[in-house]
Amino acid sequence: MEENPQQLYTSGLIFAPSDSLVRQKFANEALQSVQNLPKTHPHWPYCVLRSLEAHGGDVHILALSERGRILASASSDLTIRLWDVITGKTLKVIQGFQDLITAIDFSKSGKQQFLATLSDREVRIWDVETGHCVTTLPNQHGYKAMAWMRNELILRVMSYDCAVEYWNPELGSQQGAMKSDEQVHHGTFLIFSGDTTAFATWSDIDPVHIWFVTDNACNESVVLDDIGEFQLLSLSYDGTLLAAAERDIRLYDTHSGKKVFALEGHLMNIRSLAFAPNSGLLASGSNDRTIKLWSLTTKQCLQQLKAHQLPVTSLTFSNASDLLASGSQDTTVHLWDIGTIPEPKRQKSSLEKLNRVTSVAVAENAEIIVVGFSSSCIHLYSMGNERCPLILQGHQDQISDLHFLESGKTLASASFDGTIQLWDTLSGQHLKTFVQYSAGIQSLVLTDDQEMLASILHDFTIITWTVQTGTFAILFGHTNYVEKAVFSQPERILASSSRDRSIRIWDITRGTCLKSLNGHQDWVNGLAFTQDGNTLVSASLDKTVRLWDISSGNCLSIIPHDSGVEGVAISCDQRILASTCLMRTIQIWDVPQKRCMQTIFGYSSRHLGLTSTGQYLITDHGTLTLDMGPQGSKSSEQPRSVIYVDREWIYNRMKKVLWVPPSYRNPKFLVVRDNTVTFVDDSGEVLALRFH
C-alpha cells in the first residue's frame, strides 16, 4: 500500500461497481488513460475482505479462534501461521514440524489461549501468545483426531481404536481416558463435530460409523452402509447432520442414518466442507476454484465466491457465522464477509448451470471482443457500444474456436456441430456457412493473408477451405487427434501434429501429404515455421523441442527440456526460441548452443510469439522484454503493445499501473491485444481495460 498508493487507489475506482458510492463520487478521479468495457456490475459482490499471502505451499487446514480475532493456517510448507484477522498481519510463524499437519484447533475456554496441532508423529499444544510449545503427546497410540471441549480447558484426543484421552495443557497431564465398547478395526479416518459430542469413523474397508460421546461412554449410533462414493465427510456443529461430498453433497441424519437431501452445483470434485456453527449454512470448496454457500433450510446455493486461482482445499467459519476463511493450493488464504447474504430469488436452470465459456477472440485493434459458449451462442462486444453484447445465434452445438478476418470486419466461428460460420461484426448478420462432416470441429487456423483456413476435426482429419469460394480439400492420414496445425505462407504448405506422435507436411493446393516427420515419443502439441518456411519447430510431451528441415524431412536439432512442452515460437533469425512447458514455465533458448538463457516461472500461454529480433516475447499475458544477457543484441525495435499482466499487477512499459483484485487473477481467458487487457471468467463476464 505504501509503495504503490496511486495504482491501488485507481484500481479501487476502476473495479468498483457502477452503482456503488465509491464509483459515483470518485469516478472522475480515475486515470483518464484507462477505459473499461463493459460497465462493471451495478452492486458489490460478496468479495474478499482480506487476502493473506505468505505460505510457500498448499493451505490445507484453517481454524479461527473463539472470538474470531486470530486465524491459524496450516500449509504443506510445514508451517502454521497465526494471522490478525483485522489487520491481516502475521502474528506468529510456528515451525519445526517434520510431517504434514493433519488437524489444528483453538481452545474454547480459559484465560490463556492454546492451539493444538496434530501430525503423524505427535500432538502438540502451543501457547498462542508466545508461540511456544507447552505440551507434546507422542503419537504412540495412533492419534487420528482431536478437538477442544466447549466449556472446559480440556483437549479430547482420539486414537484408532476409539479411545478418547483428555489433556489439560495448564496441568500438562492426562485428565482421564475413555474407550468404546466396540472396536473400529483401526478405522483410517476420524472427524469430530464442532461441539465434540459426536464423531465419525470410516476406512477403505469399513463403512461410516457415527458415534456419540457422553461423560462416561462412547456409544455407536448408526452405521451408514449405503452412503456410496465420497471424497470427504464433515459433521455439523451439533453432530446431527453428516455431509458426504464428491461433486455433489449428500446430507444424512446421524440418528436415523437416512439421507435427508442433496446439493448440486459444482463443476468438479469438492475438496473442502465446513458447517457454520449457528446459521444453517454449509460452505463447500471445489477443484473448480469456487466456494458455494448453501442454505440448509431452503436447500439452495445462496452465493458463489470466486477469488482463488487453484482448488479450494480448506474452509472454516467464525463462531458468529459471519466470517468465512478459505485456503487453497494457490498458497493464499481469503477472508469473506458473509453476514448479509440474502436468500436466492430462484435457482438457475440446468442449462444456465452448464453454460460456460469455451472460446474468446479479440480483434487486432481490440475494438471488438467475442465470447463463445457451450450453449452454441456467441456474444459480441464493441468498445464503443453501450448496448452490447450483440448475440449471434446459428450454431447447434458448443462453440469451439473464434477468429477474426479482414481486420475485424468478419468473424469466423467453429462449432462441435461440424460447421464454420462467417459473421459481419458490425451488424451481426450471418454471411456464410461451411458445412463439414458429422465430426465436430476442434479448432481453426488461418493463413497470414486470410485467404484460406484449416479446420481440425475430432475424427483425426483436417479440412482446408478457400474463404471466398468455399472450395475445400480433406487431409487424411493421422491416426489420433490432431493437436496443432500451422500454415507456411511462402511454400503454401500446412504442417500438422498429432497424438499419434507424428508430424505431417501437406500440399494445401492438392490436398496431399508430402512427407511424415517421425521421431517424437509422445504427443506433439506445438508447431512453428521459421519466417522463410524452410524449417519447422515442434514441441512434444516427450520433453523435447525438435527442429526439422522441410525439404529433406531430417531432424536438424533436439533441445531437451525438464518437462513436457506445449508450445513453441522462434525468432526470424532462428537464433532465439521460446517454449512453454507443463510445469507452468516459459523458457528462452539460444538455439545454436541449445542453452536456456531465461526461465519465466508461474505462467503458461496458449499462444507464443517472438518479435523479429527476438527481443520481445508475445504471450496471452502481454509482451515481455527478454533478458538476453550481455551478449544480447541491442535493438531499437518497439513492439506494438507494451502491456503485460503479472499475477497481481498490470504493467505498462515495465511499470506498475494497476493492481489486479484477487477475483480477476485467474480468469478462464486472459487476452492482451493492442494495449487492451481482456478478462473473461467461466460464466462469460467480460472486463476489458484499454490503456491509452
What CATH number does the domain containing 373 carry? 2.40.10.480
The larger pLDDT score, comparing residue 645 to residue 204, is at: 645
Question: Which candidate, 115, 117, 184, places its Cα nearest to that of 145?
Answer: 117
pLDDT at residue 601 above 90? no
Q: Choose the final residue of a domain: 435, 465, 485.
A: 435
| Average pLDDT of the segment spanning 630-637 | 52
Average pLDDT, the chain: 83
Q: Domain of residue 24: give its range.
A: 5-37
pLDDT at residue 647 above 80? no
The cell 464477509 sits on which residue? 337
Direct distance between the N- and C-terminal alpha carbons of the chain, in angstroms, rounded to an integer: 25
Where does the pLDDT of residue 636 fall: very low under 50, low under 70, confident under 90, or very high at 90 and above?
low
Angle value at C-alpha 442, between 439 and 448, nearest 5 degrees: 120
565 and 545 Cβ atoms separated by less than 8 Å: yes
Q: Choose the final residue of a domain: 435, 458, 486.
A: 435
| Residue 367 lies inside a defined structural domain of this protein | yes
pTM for this entry:
0.65
Q: Choose the final residue of a domain: 435, 455, 471.
A: 435
Where does the pLDDT of residue 122 fall: very low under 50, low under 70, confident under 90, or very high at 90 and above?
confident
How many alpha carbons fall within 13 Å on the CB side of residue 657?
22
Overall domain count for the chain: 2
| Residue 405 lies inside a defined structural domain of this protein | yes
Cis bond leading into 38, ω under 30°?
yes
Long-range contacts formed by 6-15: CB under 8 A, 24+ apart? 7/649, 7/656, 7/657, 7/658, 7/659, 8/659, 10/34, 10/657, 10/658, 11/658, 11/659, 11/660, 11/661, 14/658, 14/689, 15/40, 15/661, 15/664
Angle value at C-alpha 34, between 645 and 623, nearest 5 degrees: 30
| Average pLDDT of the segment spanning 575-579 | 94
| Residue 672 lies inside a defined structural domain of this protein | no
Number of H-type helices and E-type strands within the chain = 3, 62
pLDDT at residue 240 above 80? yes
- Whole-Å CA distances, 185 to 118, 159, 198, 202: 21, 11, 19, 10
| Residue 402 lies inside a defined structural domain of this protein | yes
C-alpha–C-alpha distance, residues 394 and 204, integer Å = 50
| Residue 291 lies inside a defined structural domain of this protein | no
| Residue 9 lies inside a defined structural domain of this protein | yes
AA identity, residue 600? I
**Distant-in-sequence, close-in-space partners of 658: CB < 8 Å, separation ≥ 6:** 7, 10, 11, 14, 34, 649, 650, 689
- pLDDT for 606 equals 76
| Residue 394 lies inside a defined structural domain of this protein | yes
The total number of residues written for the chain in this structure = 692
The larger pLDDT score, comparing residue 341 to residue 660, is at: 660
**Distant-in-sequence, close-in-space partners of 669: CB < 8 Å, separation ≥ 6:** 357, 360, 678, 679, 680
| Average pLDDT of the segment spanning 54-59 | 92
**For 393-402, 583-592, 646-655, which range has the lowest pLDDT when averaged over its residues?**
646-655
Pairing state of beta strands 259-263 and 419-424? Answer: unpaired
- pLDDT for 178 equals 47
| Residue 658 lies inside a defined structural domain of this protein | no
The cell for 278 is 449457528
